[in-house]
Amino acid sequence: GQQVMQIPQYQHVQEGEDFTTYCNSSTTLSNIQWYKQRPGGHPVFLIQLVKSGEVKKQKRLTFQFGEAKKNSSLHITATQTTDVGTYFCAGLRGSYIPTFGRGTSLIVHP
């Protein structure tokens, strides 16, 4: 079945450093979603990417969807302690069944 691999599993950064998490799918995706989950909380939607090569920005967050629609990345510039949490990607194959990556836990040291 479809797999969505996400790396790294954990990332420790000093406050102010940048952070990137990557997702790779074994099959072509129709779109990809990104979520953030704070410790003890539930996943919260960040963004959805649909087009090949798409790049979207939300303040310090930059999301990319690969040209082949098999990979995606989330980059955070100048991390803050409020960025702490686990970031998940969820790939969709043109339907309504999402496959989540295992997530990347971001730990920000002040």
Q: Which residues form the interface with another protein (CB under 8 A)?
A: 1, 6, 9, 30-31, 33, 35, 41-45, 48, 50, 88, 90, 92, 94-103
Residue placing its CB nearer to another protein in the complex, 77 or 98: 98
- Dihedral of CA atoms 23, 29, 84, 107 in degrees, nearest 10, equals -10
Residue placing its CB nearer to another protein in the complex, 79 or 86: 86
Residue placing its CB nearer to another protein in the complex, 49 or 108: 49
Distance from C-alpha of 83 to C-alpha of 98, rounded to nearest angstrom: 24
